[in-house]
Amino acid sequence: MQLQLSTWAEVEAYLRRSTGVIIPIGSTEQHGPNGMIGTDAICPEVIARGVGEAADALVAPTVSIGMAQHHLAFPGSVTLRPSTLIALLNDVVLSLARHGFDRFYFLNGHGGNVATVTAAFSEIYAQTSMVREGANHGGIRCKLSNWYMAPGVQQLSKELFAGVEGSHATPSEVSLTFFAYPDHVKQAEMSPRVAPTGTFYDAEDYRRRFPDGRIGSDPSLATVEAGRRLYEAAVADVARDYREFLAAA
């Protein structure tokens, strides 16, 4: 059930059977020579929709621009400053909490979001924790779940792309976008075939170390079929995890 495609009366009915919501969150940033700039938003979006059907979960619109400061040296990358993203997530959660939602499951597609989203949760909780009574929004629970860390996904990635998965512009995430948008499958020469690995600091530094944007990966191996298998593994894992989140004491 997609929030964007529902009426308010349908949401009202949903709230009578569940107070949980899935919020896909991604990024708009370079993903190497053949990866789409929207990769990190597309992946959690399509998985969330699958989970929405599998687990009767409401799926909010995707937060498609995240924290991608380190990719800004590549054309087309867009970032929110962490402070902006924190404000945005706060407003989304408080808006939905007004209606009675209290289990917020953020399905994330971008490692660069983890720190800021985690900080945002604390910013949200602090509004309750820092007052004497614990008034208003107490009882809210926010969870961050990275689809690419789901056990079934990790196992499948290892099986499919052992040694060339890397950590940015991976063949797994590129495959998933090919599965989602088969008309947009892209080919590109990778040179070197497997990108270098390492750490980085700011955007200039990132581009200097990883000239074509990839880190440790060979996404030329990405296929629609691999994407389909990863999608199914992700939906199964995330649906289970979401149900446990709702059921937890």
Binding residues for a second copy restricted to 44-83, rule: CB under 8 A: 60-62, 64-65, 67, 69-70, 72-83
One of 129, 158, 196, 225 touching a second copy (CB under 8 A): 129
- Least distance (Å) from a second copy to the CB of residue 13? 9
Q: Of residues 183-202, which lie at the interface with a second copy (CB under 8 A)?
A: 184, 186, 188, 201-202
**Residue placing its CB nearer to a second copy in the complex, 133 or 163:** 133
**Residue placing its CB nearer to a second copy in the complex, 109 or 156:** 109
**Residue placing its CB nearer to a second copy in the complex, 56 or 125:** 125
Number of residues that bind a second copy (CB under 8 A): 92
Q: Of residues 216-245, which lie at the interface with a second copy (CB under 8 A)?
A: none
One of 54, 125, 154, 236 touching a second copy (CB under 8 A): 125
Which distant-in-sequence residues (6+ apart) come within 8 Å of 207 by Cβ? 73, 74, 213
- Least distance (Å) from a second copy to the CB of residue 59? 11
Report d(CA 23, CA 147) in Å as an integer: 12
Residue from 125, 117, 175 nearest 146 by CA: 117
Report d(CA 46, CA 125) in Å as an integer: 29
Question: For the stretch 135-171, what's the b/e string if a residue is b when 16 or more beta carbons lie within 10 angstroms of its beta carbon?
Answer: eeeeebebbbbbbbebebbeebbeebbeebbbebbbb
One of 50, 109, 171, 213 touching a second copy (CB under 8 A): 213
If one asks whether residue 131 binds a second copy (CB under 8 A), the answer comes out as yes
Q: Of residues 137-166, which lie at the interface with a second copy (CB under 8 A)?
A: 137-138, 140-142
One of 54, 94, 224, 236 touching a second copy (CB under 8 A): 94
The pattern of x and - marking residues 19 through 48 that bind a second copy according to CB under 8 A reads: ---------x-xxxxxxxxx--xx------
**Residue placing its CB nearer to a second copy in the complex, 93 or 233:** 93
- Least distance (Å) from a second copy to the CB of residue 53? 13
